[in-house]
Amino acid sequence: GAGVSQTPSNKVTEKGKYVELRCDPISGHTALYWYRQSLGQGPEFLIYFQGTGAADDSGLPNDRFFAVRPEGSVSTLKIQRTERGDSAVYLCASSLTYQETQYFGPGTRLLVL
Amino acid sequence: AQTVTQSQPEMSVQEAETVTLSCTYDTSESDYYLFWYKQPPSRQMILVIRQEAYKQQNATENRFSVNFQKAAKSFSLKISDSQLGDAAMYFCAYRRPSGSRLTFGEGTQLTVNP
pLDDT at A1: 57
Q: Tell me the sheet residues that pair with A90.
A: A36, A108
B19 in Cβ contact with B82 (< 8 Å):
yes
Q: What average pLDDT is seen over chain B? A: 94
pLDDT at A99: 83
Q: What are the residues whose beta carbons fall under 8 Å from the beta carbon of A58, sequence distance 6 or more?
A: none
Which percentage of chain A shows pLDDT scores above 70? 99
pLDDT digits (tens, 9 = 90+) for B6-17: 999 999 999 999
pLDDT at B108: 98
Comparing CB atoms, the residue among B43, B50, B100 nearest residue A48 is: B100
Is A25 in the B-facing interface, judged by CB distances under 8 Å?
no
Higher pLDDT, A2 or A25: A25
* Cβ–Cβ below 8 Å for B105 and A107: no
B66 in Cβ contact with B75 (< 8 Å):
yes
Q: What φ, ψ does residue A86 adopt, rounded to 5°?
A: -80, -10
Is B106 in the A-facing interface, judged by CB distances under 8 Å?
yes
Residue B42's pLDDT band, with cuts at 50, 70 and 90, is confident
